[in-house]
Structure 1
Amino acid sequence: MDNLMVLHELTSEQYLTQLQNKLEDRHLLDEHRNLSLENSTEKEFLEWFFLEKIFTADKQLSPHTIKAYRSDAKTLLTFLLEHSLSLRDIGFPEVKAYNKYIKEKYAAKSAIRKLEFFRRLLDFGYETKFYKAHLSTWISKPVSKKGHYIIEETRQENAQTRVQVRELNQRDAEYVISFFPKIVKANRNREQLEKRNLLIGYLLYTTGLRASELLSLNWGSFRYNRQGYLFADVIGKGNKPRTIPVKEETEKLLLDYRRSIGESVEIDPADTTPLFFALYNKQDYEHKKRLSYPALYKIVKEAVNLAGKHSKVSPHWFRHTFVTMLLESDVPLAVVKDWAGHSDISTTNMYLERINQDNAYVHLSKVNLFR
């Protein structure tokens, strides 16, 4: 796929010339000069699908999203391999069989994502004549429960019988965060590691940052406004920028952390040094390799285990907690949407609907049904 991806790095004139040559050399243009993969290899089909529908030049995908797409492709190819099928063999029976397999094997949200990937692949195949029929019409996705939930089985014979919200209450969130510095076992740079971990916990809890957004923070991501309040400028999902206010308590921890690692607390917008990096030896200080998601996930999991809380808690739970707490504190819906970086206000409204459901008894208690 690399030889195709290079096309996006060329100038407009170079791009057109080389694209024309590649398509004509491989006989991938039909009589109307439209992309035709009717006679292409399966490898070429997949390459063009990822180039045109996934890794497009105008979209900057996060490592998490790229990993998800690769996982979806692997799931499909593994299914085909296990049934001695190729991409060319896919027809109505294969679509229905794969659809059934995905719905039975995966939870609703994962199944929806994998079937959406499958739908896009089939549609691209139909558009480029790789498939003769509009096969995606036979896909039926499961219904996903609105909101941020996990499904737990309470009985072997009856799955999805209990729904639990993927967030913590305020007391539990603060309790878990108090264990972030306590998981440090190393003697070298213990103080710095403890301060780093505590700051990570506070940022997750008080800003609602996604894990990828937190790990992408640089020292130059922060700035003071004219009133002297600290803000973080974040590049979120879909490469969309947003600005989040930083709580005073979190700001103090941020500056304390910077001092502990021997760095200046003077904010420089041009400073692209990673905010969080490994701190175990001198080389870490010198090269400042950005903290990875597995490292962040490990910090959260170890703190949760040490605190003795729900084993499924992940970094994302703190984001859900943050959004819920804002709405419970009567922060306007539109403001919460902007701070959370939701692409649509309907996503934010899901939280509000559940909060209203939780408060149903409060409203009911105000009604006098008996005279």
Structure 2
Amino acid sequence: MNNLMILNQLTSEQYLTQLQQKLENRQLLDEYRNLSLADSSEQEFLELFFLEKIFTINKQLSSHTIKAYRSDAKTLLIFLMDHALSFRNIGFPEVKAYNKYITEKYAPKSAIRKLEFFRRLLDFGYETQFYKVHLSTWISKPAAKKGHYIFETTRAEETQTRFQVRELKQRDAEYVISFFPKIVKANRNRDQLEKRNLLIGYLLYTTGLRASELLSLNWGSFRYNRQGILYVDVIGKGRKPRTIPIRDETQELLFAYRKSLGETIEINPEDTSPLFFALYNKKEPSIHKKRLTYPSLYKIVKEAVHLAGKHSKVSPHWFRHTFVTTLLENDVPLAVVKDWAGHSDISTTNIYLERINQDNSHVHLHKVHLFK
């Protein structure tokens, strides 16, 4: 079994359970009763790394996180295969070569994540005696600008770059959303599709939901609080729950969408049916509920952006950044924005505020009378 085949199995709960049972019978302890992989196979090394460092018992990883780990592992495995290397062959030259390859091929944020995965694997190898030296000390991660930026080259001959924020101005966001229902080409279920798409746009823009969070919504995710205000309960990154209030405009679209499907608008916390599901070519959409996928959501956004004639790089996540910035520009308290956005640390939310303050710094300059 090669390493790529192993990687394809590493997210299977059944496989991991079987692996845990097998480990109890393996002789992998040294004289100090510490895990030792000095004489283990590369397959055992990779399996144990994922089991002990990735799929740990106290972690509940999202599908997005698992996909990222798989991608990082695959990048490393393909590099090793392309250079006829094995995990045992990795030493100082190989670490520096892989570091250079990742830094040159990927944007800083992706490169940092992939090199962090590599660092963790090398550290695990050193801790378990698979490697005799601390190889991760030779990894050099690129610097990444804090915040939500894309890089644009302005002068190629001088390798000058500038940072552009991955968000829309408020007016542009609302303009793009108006095109969400206009991309519908199908005649069947046209009304339902148009209402669904418009609701998707409003939820992205007025709640700041991540794409995975929006696609995971059920009808039972919504509830009224004691004051009769509609809220949505979300399971975010790291399986952390949070609650976000729903604006009146979004609530109206939500109920209009439900009515167009022939569904009840009575809130039912026990209803686990997906809020968004595929509707094309379905004679009875209420019966067939295959949850909407990310590629479908991405296509909706991209087609709307294209039709609106806006920045071609706009993706679903841009609306999340726009939501956070708009709240802070309207003086919503930093702690409240942090909770609604589901940021694990307030310093992440503060990055937005720092940039807003920087953009508004001209106000202070204009208060000063320099010419008399």
TM-score scaled by length of structure 2: 0.93
Mapped pair 1:345 → 2:346: yes
> Mean alpha-carbon deviation: is it higher for 122-131 or for 310-319?
122-131
| Runs (5+) with no aligned partner, structure 1 | 11-17
Pairwise CA distance, 1:366? 0.8
For 2:242 and 2:316, how far apart are their aligned partners in 1?
Answer: 20
Pairwise CA distance, 1:61? 1.9
- Conserved in 2, the CA contact under 8 Å of 1:184 and 1:193? yes
Question: What residue number does 1:15 align with?
Answer: none
Alignment CA distance shift 1:83-1:243 (3 Å): same
Question: What residue number does 1:297 align with?
Answer: 298
For 2:54 and 2:261, how far apart are their aligned partners in 1?
Answer: 40
Mapped pair 1:230 → 2:230: yes
> Mean alpha-carbon deviation: is it higher for 326-335 or for 159-168?
159-168
Q: Residues 55-78 of structure 1: CA distance to partner in whole angstroms, max 9, x if unpaired?
A: 223222222222211111111111
Pairwise CA distance, 1:158? 4.2
For 1:140 and 1:358, how far apart are their aligned partners in 2?
Answer: 32
Alignment of 1:45-84 (within 5 A): 45-84=45-84
Describe the SS at the equivalent of 1:39. coil
Describe the SS at the equivalent of 1:161. strand
| Runs (5+) with no aligned partner, structure 2 | 1-5
For 1:68 and 1:5, how far apart are their aligned partners in 2?
Answer: 18
Question: What residue number does 2:314 align with?
Answer: 313
- Conserved in 1, the CA contact under 8 Å of 2:167 and 2:321? yes
| RMSD after superposition | 1.8
Pairwise CA distance, 1:344? 0.4
Pairwise CA distance, 1:343? 0.3
Question: What residue number does 1:89 align with?
Answer: 89
Alignment CA distance shift 1:278-1:137 (3 Å): same
Question: What residue number does 2:271 align with?
Answer: 271
- Conserved in 1, the CA contact under 8 Å of 2:261 and 2:285? no
Code of the residue aligned with 1:193 in structure 2: it is L
Alignment CA distance shift 1:194-1:260 (3 Å): same
Alignment CA distance shift 1:264-1:283 (3 Å): closer
Pairwise CA distance, 1:294? 0.6
Alignment CA distance shift 1:44-1:273 (3 Å): same
Alignment CA distance shift 1:77-1:157 (3 Å): farther
Question: What residue number does 1:326 align with?
Answer: 327
Alignment of 1:1-371 (within 5 A): 5-6=13-14, 19=20, 22-23=22-23, 25-159=25-159, 161-280=161-280, 281-282=282-283, 284-371=285-372
Q: Residues 19-54 of structure 1: CA distance to partner in whole angstroms, max 9, x if unpaired?
A: 5x7336432222222221111111111111111111
Code of the residue aligned with 2:149 in structure 1: it is Y
Code of the residue aligned with 1:223 in structure 2: it is R
Code of the residue aligned with 1:37 in structure 2: it is L
Pairwise CA distance, 1:369? 2.7
Q: Residues 183-231 of structure 1: CA distance to partner in whole angstroms, max 9, x if unpaired?
A: 0011000000000000000000000000000001000000111111110
Describe the SS at the equivalent of 1:282. coil
For 1:148 and 1:337, how far apart are their aligned partners in 2?
Answer: 15
Alignment CA distance shift 1:290-1:159 (3 Å): farther
For 2:100 and 2:137, how far apart are their aligned partners in 1?
Answer: 15
Q: Residues 346-367 of structure 1: CA distance to partner in whole angstroms, max 9, x if unpaired?
A: 0000000000110011121011
For 2:338 and 2:251, how far apart are their aligned partners in 1?
Answer: 22
- Conserved in 1, the CA contact under 8 Å of 2:305 and 2:314? yes
- Conserved in 2, the CA contact under 8 Å of 1:151 and 1:160? no
- Conserved in 2, the CA contact under 8 Å of 1:279 and 1:285? no
> Mean alpha-carbon deviation: is it higher for 27-36 or for 43-52?
27-36
For 1:301 and 1:62, how far apart are their aligned partners in 2?
Answer: 24
For 1:295 and 1:219, how far apart are their aligned partners in 2?
Answer: 20
Alignment CA distance shift 1:71-1:9 (3 Å): closer
Describe the SS at the equivalent of 1:274. coil
Q: Residues 255-302 of structure 1: CA distance to partner in whole angstroms, max 9, x if unpaired?
A: 000000011000011111100000121365323111111110000000
Code of the residue aligned with 2:187 in structure 1: it is N
TM-score scaled by length of structure 1: 0.94
Residue identity over aligned pairs, in percent, reads: 79
Code of the residue aligned with 1:290 in structure 2: it is R
Pairwise CA distance, 1:9? 5.5
- Conserved in 1, the CA contact under 8 Å of 2:222 and 2:230? yes
Question: What residue number does 2:3 align with?
Answer: none
How many pairs were matched up?
363
For 2:84 and 2:108, how far apart are their aligned partners in 1?
Answer: 27
Code of the residue aligned with 1:22 in structure 2: it is K
Pairwise CA distance, 1:91? 0.9
Code of the residue aligned with 1:145 in structure 2: it is K
Code of the residue aligned with 1:96 in structure 2: it is K
- Conserved in 2, the CA contact under 8 Å of 1:218 and 1:275? yes
